[in-house]
């Protein structure tokens, strides 16, 4: 029921035109862009914009999946270490397949398949334990966070897993090249975001996620297959972590125990900055995209400007994250 | 292979725990407590610790070792307490996870009459340990800085990537700054890359957007150097600058051996220092050889000519 009320508020707000609730994150993003442009003339250069968007892609693709999980009232803390684990498995699989497949398109496609299947399996495992066995999402994913992290360290024998040099050179363009000057990670991120937005707004799956997050009992009585929807959100997220890893591996061609550290918190922060409700029931994929861009722009601007001591970078990030959320809460009627 | 050995080690460890008290009269037990292998350098340190223990157990049948790795300071304290309580250790080799929280527990070990060797990170109270073995952080920054001073002209521009904000990082950066002082070299910017490839990649991308003229990069760590090199490659500015990393990671040393013009030198900060500490401690336990005091392992300059002697293909780092 809460679900329907929020929806009404949302449509109501939109009818009135401007609402801070909706525009908050967008305003914060615009302020950051103006700030960046005024601090450094290279900020809006093609190179810098490409850099920022491409490096946002990993967290961004994951955060789109996280939007569904959080909308359905769940949480997934394991995505950062899952990304490291998938990257490790993918690198080891590709290295092992070089003798049979040779270096070329089949090898890269096989590597991508391994990443997607590993992601799917990891998501399925999380989803099964949460939806079918009925353990708290926080605990399940806290556990799998530790498991994937140490499995990665173990696979790498405490060091770093590196992709074979020639295979890496062949695979490298997947991160660095693109079509018409738009890098592949940006294209993939955009596609994932558009499909995610459509799925959230236009499909029964999106509505079921919101219904489930708003009130599980009501959703159940409304013939929503609660378990299946919940499981599907984790599987979707797992697969998107796989997609993110496919874009990540060609960048540095390596994975170690320190890959993807704290990605889960960045993804969750991006989702919340974007206006999705942490306790579930309402999700906004385009907001998540804005949230991701805000987070990477903060880093970028701090590096480009170097006006404050680098020791304070974390504090400034924290302040901006909280401000962005305060800004959007202002227009929201008290509940 | 190696992973299978880890299992073997675990089984052996369990067997030793069972056999421990019975053997205690005849053999001396040395406890080794180190942080777990969460990143490249610690991975190398773990590798060298295990290798040294294997070597020493083969050489000295009267010595037993118990190795514990900890993911945080609290776990390390528990490990040390367990070693004292259940394994009756006669010497402890410890790389404190953090100085402050480990100082009192290690002091207690010392007060129980057990030999204490501290590695790399000092305790916050001086003179607890019998032996202190460490890399030379000041030297690490100075040796790199000297290369910059010798090979750059006045007015040349440098960017610096720093590690995780710690005293260790400060010592290195201060020594580097002191070494290039008065040479007229401009340090354009210093930002934290947190000894992490991805962070260093992002920071270097931003440096490259921000500055049109960079002559050299002090990446201060080989993991960061990997990210930095990739960012420079992406920007297509390979001919413009060279990069100095540090700590001698095998992939970087290999590239130096192959004569990569972007990697003229490297500076050692050997993870094998744990082996030095364990070997010296063992020597003190089995013989009257005096081993107390301070043993600082100098930071050396690695060049393409001598790179081969710093190349350990089997180490994970």
- Is residue B54's pLDDT more than 80? yes
Q: If pLDDT is split at 50, 70 and 90, which confidence band does B173 have?
A: very high
Q: If pLDDT is split at 50, 70 and 90, which confidence band does A312 have?
A: confident
Q: If pLDDT is split at 50, 70 and 90, which confidence band does A4 have?
A: very low
Residue of B nearest to A163 (CA): B251
- Is residue B187's pLDDT more than 90? yes
- Is residue B63's pLDDT more than 50? yes
- Is residue A17's pLDDT more than 90? no
- Is residue B167's pLDDT more than 80? no
pLDDT, tens digit, for every residue of B236-256?
Answer: 999 999 999 988 888 889 999
Q: Does the beta-carbon distance from A306 to B39 stay under 8 Å?
A: no
How many helices, marked H, and strands, marked E, lie in chain B?
10, 12
Q: Which residue has the higher pLDDT, B22 or A114?
A: A114
Q: What is the C-alpha to C-alpha distance for residues A168 and A172, in angstroms, rounded to an integer? A: 6
Q: If pLDDT is split at 50, 70 and 90, which confidence band does B2 have?
A: low
Residue A287 Cα, gap to closest chain B Cα (Å): 24
Q: Does the beta-carbon distance from B230 to A252 stay under 8 Å?
A: yes
Q: Which residue has the higher pLDDT, A237 or A13?
A: A237
Say if CB A215 and CB A279 are below 8 A apart.
no
The partner residue sitting opposite B190, judged by closest CB among A158, A261, A310, is A310
Q: What is the C-alpha to C-alpha distance for residues B228 and A158, in angstroms, rounded to an integer? A: 22
- Is residue A222's pLDDT more than 60? yes
Number of Cβ within 10 Å of residue B57's Cβ equals 14
pLDDT at B10: 52
Residue of B nearest to A155 (CA): B3
pLDDT at B225: 93
What is the DSSP secondary-structure string of A256-322? ETTTTTTHHHHHHHHHHHTT--TTSS---HHHHHHHHHHHHHHHHHHHHH--S-GGGHHHHHHHHHH
Mutation target vs B (from A36, A44, A158, A260; most B CBs, 10 A cutoff):
A158
Task: Name the CATH topology of A42-330.
Answer: ABC transporter involved in vitamin B12 uptake, BtuC (1.10.3470)
Most confident of A21-35, A159-173, B221-235: B221-235
| Chain B residues with beta carbon closer than 8 angstroms to that of A47 | 208-209, 235
- Is residue A5's pLDDT more than 50? no
Q: What is the mean pLDDT of chain B?
A: 86
- Which residues lie below 8 Å from residue A242, measured CB to CB, with a gap of 6+? A86, A115, A116, A117, A118, A119, A120
Q: Which residues of B touch A (CB under 8 A)?
A: 2-3, 36-40, 42-44, 46-47, 162, 165, 189-192, 196-198, 201-203, 205-210, 223, 226-227, 230, 234-235, 251, 315-317
Q: What are phi and psi of B171, to 5 degrees?
A: -60, -45
Q: Which residue has the higher pLDDT, B12 or A264?
A: A264
pLDDT at A70: 95
pLDDT at A10: 45
Task: Name the CATH topology of B2-136+270-299.
Answer: Rossmann fold (3.40.50)
Same topology, domains B2-136+270-299 and B137-267? Answer is yes
| Chain A residues with beta carbon closer than 8 angstroms to that of B315 | 159
- Is residue A21's pLDDT more than 80? no
Q: Which residue has the higher pLDDT, B123 or A271?
A: A271
Q: What is the mean pLDDT of residues A215-223?
A: 89
- Is residue A330's pLDDT more than 80? no
The partner residue sitting opposite A42, judged by closest CB among B189, B209, B251, is B209
State percent of chain A over pLDDT 70: 91
Q: Does the beta-carbon distance from B43 to A159 stay under 8 Å?
A: yes
pLDDT at A14: 45
- Give domain limits for chain B: 2-136+270-299, 137-267
Q: What is the mean pLDDT of residues B272-301?
A: 90
| Chain A residues with beta carbon closer than 8 angstroms to that of B203 | 303
Residue of A nearest to B47 (CA): A158
Q: Which residue's entry shows tokens 């060609």?
A: A250
Q: Does the beta-carbon distance from B191 to A303 stay under 8 Å?
A: yes
Number of Cβ pairs < 8 A linking chain A and chain B = 100
Residue of B nearest to A249 (CA): B198
| Chain A residues with beta carbon closer than 8 angstroms to that of B43 | 153, 156-160, 256-257
Residue B5 Cα, gap to closest chain A Cα (Å): 11
Residue of B nearest to A157 (CA): B316
Domain B137-267 has CATH 3.40.50.2300: yes
Q: If pLDDT is split at 50, 70 and 90, which confidence band does A113 have?
A: very high
Mutation target vs A (from B72, B205, B224, B249; most A CBs, 10 A cutoff):
B205
| Chain A residues with beta carbon closer than 8 angstroms to that of B227 | 252
pLDDT at A19: 63
């Amino acid at each position: 029921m809460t679900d329907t009320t929020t929806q009404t508020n949302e449509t109501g707000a939109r009818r009135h035109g401007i609402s801070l609730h909706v525009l908050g994150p967008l305003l914060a993003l615009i302020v950051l862009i103006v700030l960046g442009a005024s601090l450094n003339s290279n900020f809006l250069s093609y190179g810098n914009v490409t850099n920022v968007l491409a490096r946002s892609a990993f967290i961004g693709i994951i955060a789109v999946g996280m939007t569904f999980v959080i909308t359905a009232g769940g949480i997934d803390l394991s995505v950062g270490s899952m990304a490291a684990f998938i990257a490790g498995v993918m690198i080891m699989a590709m290295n092992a397949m070089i003798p049979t497949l040779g270096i070329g398109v089949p090898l890269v496609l096989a590597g991508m398949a391994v990443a997607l299947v590993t992601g799917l399996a990891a998501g399925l495992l999380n989803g099964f334990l949460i939806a079918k066995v009925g353990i708290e999402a926080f605990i399940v994913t806290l556990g799998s966070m530790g498991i994937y992290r140490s499995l990665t360290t173990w696979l790498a024998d405490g060091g770093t897993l590196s992709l074979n040099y020639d295979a890496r050179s062949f695979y490298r363009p997947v991160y660095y090249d693109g079509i018409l000057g738009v890098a592949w990670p940006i294209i993939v991120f955009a596609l994932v975001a558009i499909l995610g937005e459509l799925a959230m707004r236009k499909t029964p799956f999106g509505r079921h996620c919101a219904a489930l997050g708003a009130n599980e009992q009501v959703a159940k009585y409304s013939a929503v297959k609660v378990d299946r929807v919940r499981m599907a959100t984790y599987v979707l997220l797992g697969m998107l972590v796989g997609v993110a890893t496919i874009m990540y591996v060609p960048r540095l061609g390596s994975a170690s125990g320190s890959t993807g550290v704290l990605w889960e918190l960045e993804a969750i922060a991006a989702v919340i900055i974007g206006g999705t409700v942490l306790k579930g029931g309402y999700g906004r994929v385009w907001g998540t995209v804005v949230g991701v861009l805000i987070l990477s722009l903060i880093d970028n601007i701090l590096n480009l400007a170097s006006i404050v001591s680098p020791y304070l970078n974390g504090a400034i990030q924290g302040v901006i994250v909280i401000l962005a959320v305060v800004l959007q809460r202002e227009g929201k009627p008290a509940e | 292979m190696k992973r299978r050995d880890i299992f073997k080690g675990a089984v052996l460890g369990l067997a030793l725990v069972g056999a421990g008290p019975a053997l205690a009269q005849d053999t001396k037990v040395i406890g080794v407590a180190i942080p777990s292998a969460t990143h490249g350098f610690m991975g190398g340190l773990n590798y060298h610790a295990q290798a040294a223990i294997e070597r020493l157990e083969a050489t000295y049948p009267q010595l037993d070792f118990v190795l514990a790795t900890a993911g945080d300071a609290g776990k390390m304290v528990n490990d040390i307490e367990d070693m004292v309580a259940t394994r009756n250790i006669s010497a402890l080799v410890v790389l404190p996870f953090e100085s402050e929280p480990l100082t009192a527990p290690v002091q207690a070990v010392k007060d129980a009459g057990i030999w204490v060797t501290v590695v790399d990170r000092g305790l916050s109270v001086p003179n607890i340990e019998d032996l202190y073995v460490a890399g030379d952080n000041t030297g690490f920054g100075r040796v790199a800085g000297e290369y910059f001073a010798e090979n750059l002209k006045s007015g040349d521009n440098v960017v610096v990537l720093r590690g995780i904000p710690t005293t260790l990082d400060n010592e290195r950066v201060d020594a580097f700054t002191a070494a290039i002082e008065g040479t007229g070299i401009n340090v354009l910017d210093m930002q934290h890359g947190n000894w992490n490839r991805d962070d260093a990649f992002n920071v270097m991308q931003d440096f490259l957007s921000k500055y049109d003229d960079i002559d050299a990069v002090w990446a201060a760590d080989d993991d960061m150097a990997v990210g930095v090199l990739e960012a420079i490659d992406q920007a297509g500015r390979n001919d413009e600058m060279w990069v100095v990393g540090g700590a001698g990671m095998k992939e970087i040393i290999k590239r130096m051996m192959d004569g990569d013009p972007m990697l003229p030198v490297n500076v050692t900060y050997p993870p094998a220092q744990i082996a030095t500490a364990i070997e010296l401690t063992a020597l003190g336990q089995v013989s009257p050889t005096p081993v107390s005091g301070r043993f600082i392992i100098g930071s050396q300059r690695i060049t393409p000519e001598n790179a081969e002697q710093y190349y350990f293909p089997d180490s994970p780092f």
